[in-house]
């Protein structure tokens, strides 16, 4: 943090830089950033504080091309230049992304970046390999549905109970959000109960197919798989393990036994891949693979699935 006296002392320099043409200002910024990334001055040193103030001010009006080139270099000296890094992180995503995904980016800056008008920035942050509870909760509170969905699907994002509550309160009617929450191992039991499908529903025939098509259209993957497992008398946890193993063939075997047609199986696979953020390039081939499954193969897969267990209802 700059002291008032140092800020005042640097005002003439910042004014001179501000008077430069955009091209010259951009060249100066790039040269300063290059020097800083080489020297990596100590964050508490006077040199670091001076350069931090100068570069942060100069960046505001530097050309886009200079800011884009400066961003990756600043990743190497995040701790030395907090004001500069904050300015870059709050810039347009093309400039900000390099620092937003940096491993040593402090939560304080990431939290400052998270505002309702920076949805693209929050989406980049939501996909980081690790997102702290403080940052995740802020995205949960301010993110739009598409932003929060990325967060919910990220196993490295740590949400607090309050964060889960905010998501359900704001976006709990979104089927994709509900499905994503239900697949998180850290989802509080009371939240899971709110979004869960009734566990005593068991359908067959056309009623089962119609319900599955409705669930897949709404992107309710987990309830659809649970319903499938109940329809063949198998434990729903086995269905969740099929999802964890990414075993599309096993799901096909369950669908055969349940009397599900190839079209509905394709819809399930599409829903599964969308929920997992995977490619849909060859989804159209899934009905062919489904029809080619041999009876012996189907029987072998299903025989390994545990029978349904009696479940004690939780008290209200």
Percent of the chain with pLDDT over 70: 84
Distance between CA atoms of residues 221 and 313, nearest Å: 23
User: What is the reported pTM?
Assistant: 0.60
DSSP labels, 127-156: TSS-B-HHHHHHHHHH--HHHHHHHHH-TT
Residue 312 has pLDDT above 60, yes or no: no
Contact criterion met (CB below 8 Å) for 177 and 148: yes
Residue 276 has pLDDT above 60, yes or no: yes
Contact criterion met (CB below 8 Å) for 306 and 238: yes
HSE-CB at 228 with a 13 A cutoff on CA atoms is 34
Least reliable range by pLDDT among 27-31, 109-113, 159-163, 263-267 = 27-31
Average pLDDT, the chain: 83
HSE-CB at 267 with a 13 A cutoff on CA atoms is 20
Cα–Cα nearest to 314, from 180, 196, 183: 196
Higher pLDDT, residue 19 or 155: 155
- Average pLDDT on 138-166 reads 93
| Domain boundaries defined on the chain | 1-103, 106-195, 205-303
Higher pLDDT, residue 33 or 177: 177
Look at residue 238 in the predicted model and tell me its pLDDT.
82
Distance between CA atoms of residues 80 and 36, nearest Å: 9
Distance between CA atoms of residues 83 and 53, nearest Å: 7
Distance between CA atoms of residues 299 and 212, nearest Å: 22
Question: What are the phi and psi torsion angles at 261 (to 5°)?
Answer: -80, 165
Look at residue 4 in the predicted model and tell me its pLDDT.
54
Look at residue 139 in the predicted model and tell me its pLDDT.
97
pLDDT in tens, 50-62: 777 777 777 777 7
Cα–Cα nearest to 302, from 197, 205, 231, 209: 231
Q: What is the DSSP letter of 101?
A: T
Per-residue pLDDT band for 25 (boundaries 50, 70, 90) equals low
- Average pLDDT on 98-109 reads 94
DSSP labels, 137-203: HHHHHH--HHHHHHHHH-TTB---HHHHHHHHHHHTT-HHHHHHHHT-TTS-HHHHHHHPPPTT---
Look at residue 90 in the predicted model and tell me its pLDDT.
93
Higher pLDDT, residue 188 or 52: 188
Residue 274 has pLDDT above 50, yes or no: yes
- Average pLDDT on 268-288 reads 90
Higher pLDDT, residue 89 or 79: 89
**Cα dihedral: 128, 129, 134, 137 (round 10):** 70
- Average pLDDT on 116-132 reads 96
Distance between CA atoms of residues 99 and 103, nearest Å: 9
pLDDT in tens, 68-88: 888 888 888 888 888 888 999
Look at residue 55 in the predicted model and tell me its pLDDT.
75
Contact criterion met (CB below 8 Å) for 85 and 78: yes
């Amino acid at each position: 943090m700059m002291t008032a006296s140092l800020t005042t002392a640097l005002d003439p320099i910042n004014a001179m830089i501000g008077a430069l043409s955009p091209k010259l200002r951009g060249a100066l910024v790039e040269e300063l950033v290059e020097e800083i990334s080489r020297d990596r001055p100590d964050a508490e040193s006077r040199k670091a504080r001076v350069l931090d103030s100068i570069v942060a001010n100069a960046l505001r009006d530097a050309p886009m091309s200079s800011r884009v080139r400066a961003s990756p270099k600043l990743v190497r000296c995040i701790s030395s230049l907090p004001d500069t890094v904050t300015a870059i992180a709050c810039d347009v995503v093309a400039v900000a992304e390099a620092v937003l995904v940096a491993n040593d980016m402090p939560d304080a800056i990431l939290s400052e970046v998270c505002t309702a008008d920076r949805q693209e920035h929050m989406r980049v942050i939501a996909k980081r390999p690790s997102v702290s509870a403080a940052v995740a909760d802020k995205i949960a509170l301010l993110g739009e549905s598409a932003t929060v969905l990325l967060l919910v699907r990220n196993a490295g994002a740590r949400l607090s109970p309050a964060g889960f509550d905010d998501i359900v309160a704001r976006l709990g009617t979104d089927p994709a959000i509900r499905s994503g929450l239900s697949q998180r191992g850290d989802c509080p039991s009371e939240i899971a109960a709110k979004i869960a499908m009734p566990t005593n529903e068991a359908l067959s025939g056309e009623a089962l197919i119609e319900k599955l098509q409705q669930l897949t259209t709404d992107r309710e993957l987990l309830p659809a798989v649970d319903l499938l497992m109940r329809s063949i008398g198998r434990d729903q946890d086995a269905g969740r393990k099929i999802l964890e193993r990414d075993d599309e063939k096993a799901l096909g075997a369950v669908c055969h036994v349940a009397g599900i047609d190839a079209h509905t199986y394709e819809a399930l696979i599409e829903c599964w891949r969308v929920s997992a953020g995977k490619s849909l390039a060859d989804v159209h081939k899934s009905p062919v693979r489904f029809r080619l499954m041999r009876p012996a193969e189907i029987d072998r897969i299903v025989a390994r699935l545990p029978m349904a267990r009696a479940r004690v209802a939780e008290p209200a």
